[in-house]
Each structure stands twice: as C-alpha cells, then as structure tokens.
Structure 1
C-alpha cells in the first residue's frame, strides 16, 4: 500500500506543477519572502522550534513507535498495542485546549517548564531497562529483578502524552507573547521545525535500539532531546532576567 500512495503523491505533485496557475511576482510576495528569511535568522524562533520538536515531534514519533514497542517489549498482540496507542493519542489530543487555558492563566513559559519537568521524571523511569541483580548476602545470594510492567509503562506514557498536549498549547502561547503580529509566519515555522521530529526521531529510535541493544534505548533518545530543551530554556530565562536587570538599572 505504501508504494501505491507514494506513486499517487508523485503524480499529484506533477499535475499540480503542470496545471496550477502561477501567481505574479509582486512586491508583497517579495516582502513576505524577506520576512520569512529574517525570521529564520532569529535564534529565538529556532529555540521555540526545539521545544515544539519535543512536545509535537516526539508525540508523532511515539504514535509510530509505540505499537511496535508494545509488541516487542511486552509481547502484546498488535490489536492490543494499537488500543494502548489510540488511548495515548486521544488523551494527548483532548487536553490541548485545557493546556491553552493554563497557559493563558499562568503564562506559556511557566506551563512549558512544568511540562518539561514532568516528562523528565517519566522518561527517567522509562529509560531504565529490565535488570536482574544478584546481591551476595551473609547466608545466601538474593536475586533482585527490576522491571516496569506494561501497566506502569502505559501510565507513564499517558502522563507524557497529557504533558505534551499541554506543551503544544503553551509553546504557541509563548509565541504569541513574543510575536503577536506574526503568529502565522512564526507559528508556521515553529510547526515545521517541530514536525521534523515525526520523521527523524523514529529513525533515531531504531538506530539507538540497534546500537545499544535494549528496547528502552528509544526513551534515552527522548531524554537527551528533552535535556537539550531544558538547558536551552534555562539559559534563555537567565538571559531574559539579566536583560531585565540591565534595563531596570539603565
């Protein structure tokens, strides 16, 4: 089915290029292109894109990865795996409006920071692979097995999904706070950068699992991405506070 869809998309793209009318090149169009290029030079927009890469891109990646993960790590049937994944998608999508309300009330950056901390704690447990340890006691050895069962795993995943739903709303609230007159331009660029996670992260998941050799390596990748997001946000907050102190002193 995939190759058929691919050929269909190529045919549609060719017909669009062949038949669609070409709009005249006007000064307004030139100004729009220049605005886009100027926006791409802003580090702040790339920073917002990194945040959205996690809250939206990793959400898309998990939609693709979770059925296979449930089937391989927990030996569930694909129908059961798809049911868990569907619940993850539904809960994460439904809470976005609630996340927007929280962002309006408490501020986009505050909600975003809370989202990152919640996801960091959940990913810490998800990264831990099934482990068996032997403790040499006084009289006998003690076997200790540490493993996250499917229900605890699903609970952590659903918490991450809900947090990502809040995060998708709070990122756009933050964009509105900084670029209220350019929501279409900046929001589109941030969405495009974030959506790249849907195609790059599953590849990174597969490479990590093949290289490290454990199922939870995919969550180690997400942990690394989230650590980058939190580091960048922390430095941005420090810079903003420093600039505010300088302006106040001036």
Structure 2
C-alpha cells in the first residue's frame, strides 16, 4: 500500500492537472505543484509512523502528475514539426527514477536516511526558483475562459483518445510495472545478489528516460504512426522471447533418453530487456506526438487522460504479475500478459491506421463498393 500510494495519486491527478494547464497555463500550475511537494519531501525526514509515510506518499505522488502539465506547456512553444523532440527532452526527466537508485543509497550510507529527503527537498526548491525565474506564459496557449470542465472531459468519447490510452498503458504502464518487478525477477529467477540485480534492472529503466528525446526526434521525422507501429513490433518480438519459460525436453534416442534445456541465461535476458526499454522509450514519445498532432488545442486534457491510463497500468500490472505468479508458479507469465496486451495494440493500430497510411511503405488499397 505504501509504495502504491504515490503511483495511484500521481495517476488520478493527471486529468485535472491537464485540464487546469489548458485553462490557466502550464507555468502557474507546474510552479504550484512543485511548491506543494517541497514541504512534503522535507517532512519525510521527521515521519515516525506508518500513516505519516502514507499521507506524505499521497502528496509526493502529485509530482508524478507533472508530466500532464509540462508536456502541453513545452509543446505549445514549438511548431508542430519540432514538438515531438521538445516533449521528448522534457520527458527525459524520467531518467531521474533510474539515477535515484544510485544517488539515494550514496547519501543514505554517508549521512543516514533522514538526509535523503532533506537533500531532495532542497533540490526541488532550487528547481522551483529557477523554473519560475526562467519561464514565461502566453494567454494564447490557454483555452477560452468560458470552456467548462465537462466540455473538456467530453474528449473521453473520442475513440482516438481511448486508443492512445491503450498504447500508453504499454509503453509507460508496462515500463513502470517492469521497473518495479525486475529486481525481484533477477533475484528469484537467477539467484543474483540484490545489488547486482538492481544494477542489471537499470539496463531496462535507464534507457526508458534518457532515450525519450530520441523518440521525439524520430516521431518528428517519420511521424507518430510509423514510429509507434515499429515500436509495437519490436515489443512483440522481445516479449514473445521473454515469455518462454525455462523448459526441459526429454527425447528418446537410440542411445536412450536425452534431455535438452531451453532457457534464457542472465545475459540474453538482460539484452532483451535493454532492447525493450529502448523501444518503450521511443514509444512514450511517439504516443504524445499523436496527442500533439491530433489535439493541438487540448494537449493538456488529452495528455492527462492518456497519462492516467499509463499510470493506472503501472499500478495494476504489478498486482497482476504477482497474481499470475501465485497462480501458475511461472515468473515469465508477466511477459506473457504484456505480450497479449501488445497484440491488442497491433490489431487496433492495423485496422485504424496502417491500412490508411504509409506506415508499411505503401498506401493500402481502398475497398470498392458494388455499383
């Protein structure tokens, strides 16, 4: 419950934050959001009871919703041909989650755990000051003042929004879920020391943030449709290979029974996870390029809705991974589940996009009607 609380609150707040960004502008919303988290981070150093950490985690989770504020705020300063790269550079901040795995333990060992939140609170306060002094706002970046909250939520009825939610539940929700799951997987499947497991897990999580800017550049150059299509196919291949559990075969030969074992060693597994992490980094950028292209006047609202789907995916999927492991006793069922979800995306994308665009290299023929 404690670890899930920030993920849940950060997901649920994305929609209202996105709507407020469209209405009031990203500068003021992002500044207020950072200002709220500074005291919560600092107070963590003085928390002594479970409910203290629970409440603080709830507030800190609000920072997770900052993506639905920063994405539209950044995108509106750039022409459409450069919005993918701009949003990707902003999204590269996700790499902080991976960097934290190295920075926080170093501070903890040197000064004790209570120093970690104090240092992070100081960093957040400094970031807030620099942001406020170095940022600006434009009235034309906001929706009309008479736009109602209900009117913006009507975008939920658009099938494109639902489709992008499904895509993002994979490339972001799956990324968050597997980032939480990988250390446990390495320890349980390969018997690694937890420190080595954390280092190898970073091979998956680190590209997910750093390469997001590259994904934005690719989306600007080749389009969100084409990039997302190939991202899903790379994901499909990696997850298919990762889904196969360790298996032994016994074959009756003329010399007697011979046993073969088919399984990933730690090296092949890590390489596949690294490739998957790169694909999802690119995919996270391409999904938001869709949003900027299709909903230029409501980037904040749609980003919030799509971000909510991704955040809920990161919350629900680890629970499902654990349930499948308890039910089957097979750890690779986590990848089997993700493989099935990617199949849904590929089918959905084919019927709504590939047949109508040049994603596969040529224009699909249109059907002729009788008469």
TM-score w.r.t. length of structure 1: 0.85
Q: Does 1:203 align with 2:319?
A: yes
| 1:74 aligned to which of 190, 195, 199 | 190
Q: Which runs of 5+ in 2 are unaligned?
A: 3-49, 62-143, 358-362
SS at match of 1:135: strand
Cα 1:76/1:29, change in 2 over 3 Å: farther
Cα 1:68/1:174, change in 2 over 3 Å: same
Deviation at 1:12, TM superposition (A): 9.5
Deviation at 1:37, TM superposition (A): 2.2
Cα 1:236/1:139, change in 2 over 3 Å: same
Q: Does 1:55 align with 2:184?
A: no
Partner of 2:240 in structure 1? 124
Deviation at 1:140, TM superposition (A): 2.2
CA offsets, 1:136-183, max 9 Å, x none? 112322211111000100000010000000000111111222112221
| 2:218 aligned to which of 84, 102, 109 | 102
* 1:19-38 equivalences in 2 (<5 Å): 31-38=147-154
Deviation at 1:29, TM superposition (A): 7.0
| 1:142 aligned to which of 249, 253, 258 | 258
Cα 1:32/1:128, change in 2 over 3 Å: same
TM-score w.r.t. length of structure 2: 0.58
Partner of 2:285 in structure 1? 169
Work out the CA distance in 2 between the residues paired with 1:214 and 1:204: 13
CA offsets, 1:47-90, max 9 Å, x none? 10100000000000011100100110111111111111223221
Aligned residues: 232
| 1:216 aligned to which of 305, 329, 332 | 332
Deviation at 1:245, TM superposition (A): 5.1
Work out the CA distance in 1 between the residues paired with 2:191 and 2:158: 46
Work out the CA distance in 1 between the residues paired with 2:317 and 2:287: 20
Work out the CA distance in 1 between the residues paired with 2:182 and 2:288: 26
Cα 1:209/1:240, change in 2 over 3 Å: same
Q: Does 1:115 align with 2:231?
A: yes
Work out the CA distance in 2 between the residues paired with 1:10 and 1:151: 38
SS at match of 1:196: helix
